[in-house]
Each structure stands twice: as C-alpha cells, then as structure tokens.
C-alpha cells in the first residue's frame, strides 16, 4: 500500500511572523505514521515549518522536502516506517525532492542505525527535538540549545524508575542521544491535520509505568504534563477557530498534573474545558486502570459536554499474566472498577484493548481473559498479538508462544467480542443521539457518515446516515439529532430527525 501524505485542514497558530527565508518557499510534504500522539507531533512540526516560511503540500511529487514521522511501537510498525522511508527516498532519487528527513519514535530507537544503513536520509529528528525540524528541512538555521520547549517537571515515581534504569537505552544498539524531554505548549505553532471541527490536544508526554512489553518510556522519556493554563489556552484558541470536539491524549492521561502536585488534574481539566462555550464534546483517551478516581468519574457524569466515554487499555485480565506484564490488577478488581464506572456514569461507553499471547500465557490464563471479556461486556474492544520488542522487559522472558497460536487466540477473543458488539449495537435501535456529521461515506457517496458521543475519532465503529429531512442540507462538521434505525456487528445506520 502506498503511503499517503498527511492532509492539512486548518492552520492554527499564534500570530504568524514574516517568513525567515527570502527565497521561494520550500515545499514540505509530511507522512505521519502511528498513533494520534505522533500526529500531534507532526502537526507541531508542520506549524514550526510554516512559521519559518515553508509551504506544506499533500503531494509527494511536488515536495522539496519530505518528512516521515515514524512509529516504532511494534515490529510491524517499524517495518511500515522503514518501507515508507524507502518509498519516499525514491522521490529523492527519481523525483523533485531534495531532502528526506526521518522523525519520530524510530529515530529514538535506531538513530545511529538509520544514519548508517540509510545514508540517503538527510537528517533525523527525535521525539525530543521537534524544533530541530526547521533546520533539518533546510528551511532556517538551527534553533538555540536553550529551547523554551524543555520541560523539567517529573513525578517521584518516574524519578525512582529512572534510577532503576527504566528509561535507559544504553544497551540498545543504534540508539543514542539524550532521553527526550520536549513538550509543546500553547505558544507553539501547530497546523491541524484533522478535519476542522475536531482536534487532539496532547496534555502530557512520556510514561513512568513499568509495563514489561512496552518500550514507549525509553522512546518518549519520563512522564511530564503541560501546564494547566497552557492546555486551557490551547483549547480556547481551537474553539475560537471552529473546533467543536477535543480529544485529550498522552501515553497516560490519568496521571495528568501529578508532576506538579496537582491532585485529580484530569478531572479539573475536564471540568474547565467543559466551560468553553464553543466546544461541544470533550473526551480523553488512554486511562491507566488504577488511576481512575471517583472524582474523575463524577466529573464526567456532571458535565454534558464531557462524553460519557472511557478508554481504559487493560492489556489482560489474568492476574498472573498482568503480574508478568508488570501492571497488576486482575479480572475481579477490573470488574469491580467497571461496575463503579457504570454506576457513576449512566450509559458510559467502555473501550479497552488487550495483548494476546504474552510470553508464557497458558491456555487457562487465556480462558480467564475470554471469560472476563464475556462478563465485562465492553462496547468497544481491540486485541493485539504480542510482539517481541528487543529492549522491553518481556523480551528476555521464556516460553514465547508461536505466532500461529497467538493469532488463533486473538481471533477467538475478537469473535467473542463481535457477538457482544452485535448485541450492544442492536440494543441501540430506536434510540436517539447527538451526531457529528463527518461527510459522505468513504464506502459509498449515497450515504453520509458521522459519530455520536459513543464513537471516538477514528477508532470506533461508524454511523451511516441514510435519511436526511428534505428541508435540511447536510453540513459536515455540524451536529444533528439522530435516531438509530439499523445495527450491524460494529456499525450503525441512523436517520436525522
């Protein structure tokens, strides 16, 4: 599959300054891979480049510089990143591009290796060096070393883990340079790549948790939060520019504010954002299970604008597997926590994800997970095949499962969830919801597509709209009242009332 360049929907930045370059603007194309957190990094880099005088393009063939913002979460993501770099390098050897810059997580993992194996790559920019993109792309000279973007807060838990070596990359072949500690703020220029009515806000970066399958802490650094006022100022500015839905993200949003001793920081932030008049929906992703407080749940329940939606990646349900994953918890505890969420937030939508086939996962432990999924009745669920990561704690564990067996288990778990999802969707028929219309369907021009508060951007099922009142013109980005008329395994069909 050919890599697509990241689209540019809305320019959103503080007062633009005069371009630095006196020459014709350098045209820069961007490929953003991976998760929404990486997308925000791409948006910040696009903002910095635009402010420096570059022009963004969505066409690789007309780019002077192509930036590939890579993902390195699992092996398949690394492969996709490398293939995309190779594909973009062809625009340099055969086309117009003068430079190809590689940014993101793959750089943090294989900085030296990329330089050695891919000498045609002109520059690398790690996740902690976003402001260097301007000089790397040749748009302006290097930024000063004393960057205002450095964040110096940390949590005691993170400091202790750092002392124990959680963030060390010394044994990683090909990965050098300091641990990232960058985090943008409300003054950083940013060009949104999402549709004009929706935006992500990264409220924190890095992670202090010890999960043994994960190398994100080594790639992204210690947990640090953005200042409360900075997030609010950015949300207000986005709302003024036409954004109606904000999704708060971070590796772990529920630790927000702990590094500057803010208690229940996420709850306070949600309450504050719910007071921004022009915003219609606010939600957050990536909650860590044991960080969900009663106050957080009560805040979600108390504010109409805060979507009744909880995304809590649980990773497994067997206490013994979770112990090996260095996460703790287990089915019984999780079920109690889910019961509490459902009690405090009526009609809450629950999303989770699991890793199947962790080293040593026995048939019995897997069956515990299946049993838990049947009992928990999640609205949305993802299941990922365990992928061995050199540098993660689990890499040295014994009893690795064969790939085919992991895939068998993943498919089985998804089959269980499919039946649950079908039943859940069916129960929605006849009910009314607010719907954010997103445009004509990607599957057919005859239908529109939208989302309700139960659907986070891009990850959950779809709502197809097949009936609009004759006197109303469908407007993407507008909110409508809809009635669900049909249900499928994951998707819904609705009519606008």
Residues that bind ligand SF4 (CB under 6 A): 207, 209, 211, 214, 216-217, 251-252, 288
Residues 482 and 497 sit within 8 Å (Cβ to Cβ): yes
Give 160 or 497: the residue with its C-beta nearer to ligand SF4. Answer: 160
By beta-carbon proximity to ligand SF4, the closer residue of 293 and 441 is 293
Report in angstroms how near the CB of residue 136 gets to ligand SF4 at its nearest. Answer: 26
Nearest Cα to Cα of residue 209 among 245, 243, 269, 162: 162
Rounded CA-CA distance 72/146 in Å is: 28
| Residue that has been written with the tokens 């050897």 in this structure | 93
Closest separation in Å from C-beta 209 to ligand SF4:
4
Residue whose structure tokens are 């964040």 = 151
Angle (CA) 97-101-103 rounded to 5° is: 150
- Which residues lie closer than 8 Å to 66 by C-beta, 6 or more apart? 28, 29, 30, 31, 60, 88, 91, 92, 97, 99, 100, 101
Q: Are 468 and 440 in contact (CB under 8 A)?
A: no
In degrees and rounded to multiples of 5, residue 282 shows phi and psi of -130, 135
Q: What are the start-end ranges of the H helices in 303-431?
A: 319-324, 331-344, 363-376, 403-426
Q: Toward ligand SF4, which CB reaches closer, 5 or 287?
A: 287
* Residues constituting the chain: 497
* Cβ nearer to ligand SF4, comparing 276 with 456: 456
Residue 5 or 214 having the CB closest to ligand SF4? 214
- Residue 363 makes CB contacts below 8 A (sequence gap 6+) with none
Q: Is 481 left (phi over 0), alpha (psi -120 to 50) or beta?
A: beta
Q: How far is the CB of 165 from ligand SF4 (least distance, A)?
A: 14
Give me the least distance between CB of 181 and ligand SF4, in Å please.
16
Closest distance to ligand SF4 from the beta carbon of 217 (Å)? 5
Max Cα distance, the chain (Å):
67
Nearer to ligand SF4, 353 or 440 (CB): 353
Shortest distance, position 256 Cβ to ligand SF4, whole Å = 13
- Closest approach, Cβ 176 to ligand SF4, in A, equals 22
Q: Which is nearer to ligand SF4, 355 or 493 (CB)?
A: 355
Can you tell me the distance from the alpha carbon of 218 to that of 395, in angstroms, rounded to the nearest whole number? 14
Nearer residue to ligand SF4 within complex by CB, 394 or 484: 394
**Shortest approach of ligand SF4 to residue 111 CB, angstroms?**
20
Q: Which is nearer to ligand SF4, 333 or 447 (CB)?
A: 333
Smallest distance from the beta carbon of 210 to ligand SF4, in angstroms? 7
DSSP string, 264-322: THHHHHHHHHTT-TT--EEEE----GGG--HHHHHHHHH-TTB-SEEE---B---HHHH
CB of 89 to ligand SF4, least distance (A): 30
**If you search the block for the tokens 């208690």, which residue do you land on?**
263
Six-digit token pair at 182? Answer: 């960058």
Q: What distance in Å separates the CA atoms of residue 487 and residue 336, rounded to the nearest whole number?
A: 29
Find, among 39, 83, 90, the residue nearest to 63 by Cα: 90
Q: Cβ of residue 313: shortest distance to ligand SF4, in angstroms?
A: 7
CB neighbourhood size of 471 (10 A): 5
- Find the shortest distance in angstroms from Cβ 398 to ligand SF4: 21
When the beta carbons of 326 and 408 are compared against ligand SF4, the nearer one is 326
Query: To the nearest whole angstrom, how small is the minimum distance from the Cβ of residue 216 to ligand SF4?
Result: 4
Q: Given the complex with ligand SF4, which of 327 and 451 has the nearer CB atom?
A: 327
Render the burial of 254-276: b for 16+ CB within 10 Å, e for the rest: bbbbbbeeeebbbbbbbbbbbeb
Nearer to ligand SF4, 49 or 216 (CB): 216
Nearer of residues 172 and 288 to ligand SF4, judged by Cβ: 288
67, 58 Cβ separation under 8 angstroms: no
């Amino acid at each position: 599959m050919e890599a697509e360049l990241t689209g540019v929907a809305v320019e959103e930045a503080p007062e633009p300054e005069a371009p630095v370059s006196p020459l014709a603007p350098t045209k820069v194309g961007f490929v953003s891979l991976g998760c929404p957190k990486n997308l925000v990094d791409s948006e910040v880099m696009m903002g910095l480049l635009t402010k420096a005088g570059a022009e963004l393009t969505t066409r690789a063939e007309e780019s002077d510089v192509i930036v590939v913002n890579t993902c390195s979460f699992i092996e398949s993501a690394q492969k996709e990143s490398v293939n995309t770099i190779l594909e973009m390098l062809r625009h340099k050897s055969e086309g117009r591009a003068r430079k190809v810059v590689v940014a993101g997580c793959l750089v943090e993992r294989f900085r030296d290796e990329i330089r050695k194996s891919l000498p045609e790559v002109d520059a690398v920019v790690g996740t902690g060096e976003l402001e260097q993109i301007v000089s790397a792309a040749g748009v302006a000279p290097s930024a000063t070393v004393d960057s205002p973007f450095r964040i110096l807060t940390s949590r005691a838990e993170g400091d202790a883990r750092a002392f124990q070596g959680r963030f060390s990359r010394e044994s990683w072949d090909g990965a050098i340079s300091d641990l990232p500690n960058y985090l943008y703020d409300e003054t950083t220029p940013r060009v949104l790549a999402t549709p004009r009515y929706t935006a992500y806000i990264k409220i924190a970066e890095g992670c202090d948790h010890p999960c043994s399958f994960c190398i994100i802490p080594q790639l992204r650094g210690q947990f640090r939060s953005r200042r409360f006022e900075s997030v609010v100022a950015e949300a207000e500015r986005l709302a003024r520019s036409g954004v109606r839905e904000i999704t708060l993200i971070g590796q772990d949003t529920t630790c927000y504010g702990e590094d500057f001793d803010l208690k229940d920081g996420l709850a306070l932030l949600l309450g504050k954002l719910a007071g921004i008049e022009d915003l219609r929906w606010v939600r957050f992703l990536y909650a860590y299970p044991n960080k969900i407080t009663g106050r957080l749940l009560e805040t979600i329940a108390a504010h109409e604008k805060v979507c009744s939606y909880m995304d809590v990646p649980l990773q497994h349900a067997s206490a013994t597997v979770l112990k090996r994953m260095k996460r703790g918890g287990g089915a019984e505890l999780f079920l109690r926590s889910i019961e509490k969420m459902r009690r405090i937030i009526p009609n809450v939508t629950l999303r989770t994800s699991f890793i199947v086939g962790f080293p040593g996962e026995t048939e019995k432990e897997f069956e515990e997970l299946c049993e838990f999924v049947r009992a928990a009745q999640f609205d949305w669920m993802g299941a990922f095949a365990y992928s061995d990561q050199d540098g993660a704690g689990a890499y040295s564990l014994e009893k690795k499962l064969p790939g085919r067996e992991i895939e068998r288990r993943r498919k089985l778990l998804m089959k269980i969830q499919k039946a649950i999802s079908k039943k859940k969707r069916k129960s929605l028929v006849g009910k009314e919801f607010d719907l954010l219309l997103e445009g004509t369907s990607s599957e057919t021009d005859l239908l529109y597509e939208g989302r309700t508060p139960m659907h986070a951007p891009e990850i959950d099922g779809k709502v197809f709209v097949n009936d609009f009142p004759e006197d109303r013109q469908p407007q993407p980005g507008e909110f409508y009242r809809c009635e669900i008329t049909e249900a499928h395994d994951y998707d819904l069909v609705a009519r606008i009332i």
